[in-house]
């Protein structure tokens, strides 16, 4: 999103905008806090999986029998990555109504628009496990390799993002060292993911989403009351400067809305964890219903948290609150208005959002490994009939590898969230248009897709990354649009060119 989350080497005070939020728990209490949460998630996994017999389809797709409600809650929870819990409050604080709108609306649109795309994929490859499986069948090895670079790169960097952001913020509340928090988080999600695969992820997501919604429902209204009621919220609708009152403010739409919309729309399409859940649903008729429900369940979270940003803007204007780091304005507002223990409750919400994404990443990585790297010439139906444990062990090994890689990257001294976001956010956008065209346009040519994806990665994505890194909205917008234009132009023009070439060759 172009927002700054401090590196793990910065002091706790500078990371969190002051000392008022530090160490609400002692380190020992922090360990107990993490242990209780971990045991709860492991307990849910053991209880849900007690009657399930392990097999490839069970571990990777929960035997394709995930229901609408469980699927929607899982999708919504997985779409809430840790920093996103703070961005809605931040944008509401910085840019008022239009800032909140251009974060909330594209998130909603991304899941709604993905629904028919996911349904189309299920009908083209009824027993599929991943999108790259279909890409390999349709376009061959070269395009498949490019897709795997994008999909695997996204999973590893996204895992590192969750660890880096979540551990830094939990560290500030518990007083534990960064590596201790990071290691605990990895151990928690690895344990229940290794035990139950996707079924464990979906089951724990259900619990985690309930926690997130419940905490939002308690925290935000309480904070509004303590701040003086809805009239205080109204005072902050223009942001901290009071100037952003037009929801469709042209500058915010241009500088933040365009690049954010393109990046978020490419999110589900370029991320295996959403394809995995689409294929895990019971019936084709459940797909659209599930993703629509997930979109509206998800939107309750950033919509409610944006109120904390509006409250903060009003409190700053009144001179009763100082915000040094806008990234954690929501947590700062809770700390300012509510009792100390509510910041710990807020940390539970963060932990739920963090773990729901971490376990989804591990499951996605395992499916890509089994189906696309070591699947060989096995068809999806062959995988469905695999009742042995060899591929389950392979899936578990890949989870361990992904977790260690993500933890290692997050542990690099001086690393910042922005560096990882630039890499995988721009990489993910490069497959947006080619993926949609592949699913809906029979005339698309494989050579054109290869050039479109490669061109977007080489030319569009670096320009988009440079704009975000240099905090230049013009470069960011140019890069975002370039990714779309390259993907669309090269795919369409290239396909027509190769069609004419083939027609000419056959005529000769």
Mean pLDDT for 387-396 is 86
Tell which of 388, 414, 440 closes a domain. Answer: 414
For 440, other C-beta atoms within 10 Å of its C-beta total: 12
pLDDT averaged over every residue in the chain: 85
- Does residue 175 carry a pLDDT above 90? no
**157-161, 324-328, 344-348, 371-375: range with lowest mean pLDDT:** 324-328
Same domain, 505 and 449: yes
Domain annotation covers residue 46: no
Residue for token digits 């409050």? Answer: 89
Gap between the Cα atoms of 41 and 203, Å rounded: 9
The reported pLDDT for the residue numbered 258 is 86
Gap between the Cα atoms of 114 and 436, Å rounded: 10
What tokens appear for 243 in the block? 């100037």
Same domain, 409 and 442: no
Same domain, 361 and 454: no
Same domain, 340 and 467: no
Domain annotation covers residue 52: no
Tell which of 414, 439, 465 closes a domain. Answer: 414
The reported pLDDT for the residue numbered 284 is 93
The number of residues making up the chain comes to 508
Of the candidates 496, 486, 484, which has an alpha carbon nearest to the alpha carbon of residue 447? 496
Same domain, 127 and 194: yes
The reported pLDDT for the residue numbered 507 is 43
Same domain, 364 and 406: yes
Burial letters for 109-139: b for 16+ Cβ neighbours within 10 Å, e otherwise?
Answer: ebbbbbbebbbebbeebebbbbbbbbbbebb
Of the candidates 75, 91, 74, 22, which has an alpha carbon nearest to the alpha carbon of residue 305? 91
Same domain, 283 and 194: yes
Domain annotation covers residue 374: yes
Gap between the Cα atoms of 291 and 329, Å rounded: 30
Same domain, 374 and 477: no
Tell which of 414, 442, 458 closes a domain. Answer: 414
**Which residues, including other chains, have CB under 8 Å from residue 3's CB and lie 6 or more apart?**
83, 87, 90, 326, 327, 418
Same domain, 210 and 336: yes
CATH number at residue 312: 1.20.1730.10
Q: In this structure, are residues 424 and 158 in contact, taking their beta carbons and an 8 Å threshold?
A: yes
Same domain, 402 and 466: no
3-class DSSP assignment, residue 431: coil
For 222, other C-beta atoms within 10 Å of its C-beta total: 15
Q: In this structure, are residues 369 and 398 in contact, taking their beta carbons and an 8 Å threshold?
A: yes
**28-37, 262-271, 497-506: range with lowest mean pLDDT:** 497-506
Gap between the Cα atoms of 337 and 315, Å rounded: 10
Name the domain count of the chain.
2
What tokens appear for 133 in the block? 């499986």
Same domain, 124 and 229: yes
Question: What are the pLDDT digits (tens) for 415-465?
Answer: 666 556 656 666 788 899 999 999 999 999 999 999 999 998 888 777 777
User: Cα angle vertex 102, ends 232, 236, to 5°?
Assistant: 10
The reported pLDDT for the residue numbered 24 is 66
Same domain, 198 and 311: yes
- Does residue 195 carry a pLDDT above 50? yes
Domain annotation covers residue 105: yes
Question: What are the pLDDT digits (tens) for 53-109?
Answer: 888 899 999 999 999 999 999 999 999 876 677 788 989 999 999 999 999 999 999
Domain annotation covers residue 443: yes
Domain range holding 482?
Answer: 430-508
Mean pLDDT for 186-193 is 92
Domain annotation covers residue 55: no
What tokens appear for 409 in the block? 């990257």
């Amino acid at each position: 999103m172009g927002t700054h989350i401090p590196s793990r080497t910065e002091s706790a005070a500078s990371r969190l905008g002051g000392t008022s939020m530090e160490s609400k728990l002692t380190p020992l209490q922090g360990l107990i806090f993490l242990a209780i949460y971990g045991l709860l998630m492991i307990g849910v996994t053991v209880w849900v999986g007690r009657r399930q017999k392990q097999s490839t389809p069970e571990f990777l797709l929960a035997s394709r029998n995930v229901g609408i409600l469980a699927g929607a809650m899982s999708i919504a929870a997985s779409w809430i990555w840790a920093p996103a819990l703070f961005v809605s409050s931040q944008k509401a604080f910085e840019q008022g109504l239009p800032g909140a709108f251009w974060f909330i609306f594209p998130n909603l649109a991304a899941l709604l628009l993905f629904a028919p795309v996911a349904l189309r994929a299920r009908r083209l490859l009824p027993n599929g496990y991943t999108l790259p499986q279909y890409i390999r069948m349709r376009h061959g090895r070269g395009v498949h390799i490019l897709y795997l670079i994008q999909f695997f790169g996204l999973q590893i960097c996204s895992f590192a993002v969750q660890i880096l952001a979540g551990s830094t913020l939990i560290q500030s509340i518990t007083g534990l060292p960064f590596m201790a928090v990071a290691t605990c988080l990895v151990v928690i999600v690895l344990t229940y993911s290794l035990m139950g695969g996707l079924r464990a992820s979906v089951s724990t997501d259900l619990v985690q989403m309930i926690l997130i919604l419940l905490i939002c429902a308690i925290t935000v209204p309480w904070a509004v009351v303590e701040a003086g009621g809805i009239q205080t919220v109204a005072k902050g609708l223009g942001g901290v400067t009071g100037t952003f009152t037009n929801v469709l403010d042209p500058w915010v739409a241009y500088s933040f809305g365009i690049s954010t919309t393109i990046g978020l729309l490419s999110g589900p399409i370029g991320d295996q964890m959403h394809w995995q859940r689409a294929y895990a649903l019971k019936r084709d008729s459940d797909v659209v219903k599930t993703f629509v429900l997930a979109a509206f369940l998800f939107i309750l979270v950033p919509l409610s948290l944006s109120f904390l940003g509006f409250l903060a803007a009003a409190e700053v204007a009144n001179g009763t609150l100082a915000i040094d780091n806008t990234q954690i304005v929501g947590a700062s507002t809770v700390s300012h208005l509510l009792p100390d223990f509510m910041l710990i409750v807020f940390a539970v919400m963060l932990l739920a959002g963090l773990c729901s994404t971490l376990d989804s990443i591990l499951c996605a990585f395992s499916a890509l490994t089994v189906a696309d790297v070591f699947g060989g010439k096995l068809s999806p139906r062959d995988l469905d009939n695999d009742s042995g444990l060899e591929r389950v062990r392979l899936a578990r090994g890949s989870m361990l590898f992904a977790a260690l890689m993500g933890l290692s990257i997050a542990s690099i001294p001086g690393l910042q969230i922005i560096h990882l976001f630039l890499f995988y956010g721009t990489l993910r956008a490069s497959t947006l248009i080619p993926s949609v065209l592949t699913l809906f346009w029979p005339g698309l040519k494989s050579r054109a897709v290869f050039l479109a994806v490669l061109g977007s990665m080489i030319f569009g994505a670096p320009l988009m990354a440079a704009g975000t890194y240099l905090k230049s909205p013009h470069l960011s917008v140019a890069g975002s649009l370039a990714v779309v234009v390259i993907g669309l132009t090269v795919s369409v023009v290239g396909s027509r060119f190769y069609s004419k070439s083939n027609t000419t060759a056959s005529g000769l």
